[in-house]
Amino acid sequence: MSAKSLIVVDNVAKEYMRGSERISVLRGVNLALAAADFVALIGPSGSGKTTLLNLIAGLDQPTSGRVFFDGLEISKLDETQLARWRTNAVGFVFQFFHLIPVLTAYENVELPLLLLNMTAQRRREQVLLALDLVGLSHRLHHRPGQLSGGEQQRVGIARALVTDPKLIVADEPTGDLDSAKSREILDLLQSLQQELKKTILLVTHDPTAAARARRVLRIDKGLLVEERTNRCQRLAV
């Protein structure tokens, strides 16, 4: 375990019951992620990528083992404590964007800030900054239905960034986009990691997306089976 590790996964296992059958999704995973790193998690469908991401992001609890975030054992926290912790610590980017359709881009990005003790003026500044970072200052008052897929994902990224979390988890963020838009989103994630020093954990099937990461972890049948470091990350165009 490195002293600089932001996230430490210690011998984590996760099992589900499907009817009377016990399904073992993760089987003793050990992992440490450094701060400001860009890590891709790859593997076939059903290998346990998303489950591992959920555990690291505090969306689920392991059956056994421990998960630490910045020294805090998040696998011990209850649902309410985890919700509070997530607001500040983790930003989420989803494959299907998951924006609230009745809210504008501005209001979607503002959502996580409503949970923080913050003045309206400060909230406004944060939201405008986040939307500016993703290049959507001109689309503040558009609803998701009025935005393209790429723009919706940018709003999703702005929403993930707005609370200034240390970790951004992205689950197949380019899975619902064409190749041009995918490139744009990956460029954006990469530049955020490099400029804002965010730790990015990217779950993907796409080898092109994984190539953007500094470190690639391959998971199969609930175990980490391969780890490699990309010698040179492809820079944002």
Partner 1 sequence: MKFFLLILKNLRRNKLRTTLTALAVAVMVTICTEMMTILFWVHQHVHTQACQSKLLVSERWVAPSCIPARYLSLLTHQEGVEDWTLWNLYTGYLDASRQNSRKGFGLATRPDNLIAMHIGLEKLDPAAVLALQREKTGAIVSADLMEQMSWKVGQQFTVLSSSHPGKDLRFKIVGVLPPGEYVRNFFFREDYYEEGTGNKETITCVWLRLRDAETAQRVAGRIQEQFQHNQPELKVETESAGVARFVSREQALLSILKWVVAILVIDMAIVLSNSISVATRERKGEMAVLKVLGFEPLAILVLVVGEAMLIGAVSGLIGAALAWLCSALAVSGLLPSSSATRIFLSFPIQVQMIFWGALMGAFVGFAGSIVPAWNARKVRVSDVFAKIA
Helix count (H) and strand count (E) of the chain?
7, 10
Nearer to partner 1, 5 or 201 (CB): 201
Binding residue (CB under 8 A) for partner 1 from 32, 36, 111, 140: 111
String marking each residue 140-179 x if it binds partner 1 according to CB under 8 A = -------------------x-----------xx-------
When asked if residue 126 is in the footprint of partner 1 (CB under 8 A), the reply is: no
Within residues 47-106, the interface with partner 1 by CB under 8 A covers 50-51, 54, 57, 59-60, 79-80, 83-84, 86-88, 92, 94-96, 98, 100-103
- # chain residues binding partner 1, by CB under 8 A: 30
Hey, CA dihedral for 168, 199, 231, 29, is it positive or negative? negative
Number of other residues whose CB lies within 10 A of the CB of residue 205:
14
**53 Cβ contact list (under 8 Å, min separation 6):** 41, 169, 171, 201, 203
- Comparing CA positions, the residue from 204, 194, 170, 172 lying closest to residue 91 is 170
Within residues 178-237, the interface with partner 1 by CB under 8 A covers none
Q: How far is the CB of 131 from partner 1 (least distance, A)?
A: 16
* Alpha carbons within 13 A on the beta-carbon side of 227: 9
Q: How far is the CB of 25 from partner 1 (least distance, A)?
A: 10
Q: How far is the CB of 159 from partner 1 (least distance, A)?
A: 7
Q: How many Å apart are CA 114 and CA 157, to the nearest integer?
A: 17
Q: How far is CA 220 from CA 33, 42, 45, 211, 227, in A?
A: 19, 9, 9, 19, 12
In the complex, the residues that contact partner 1 under the rule CB under 8 A are 50-51, 54, 57, 59-60, 79-80, 83-84, 86-88, 92, 94-96, 98, 100-103, 107, 111-112, 114-115, 159, 171-172
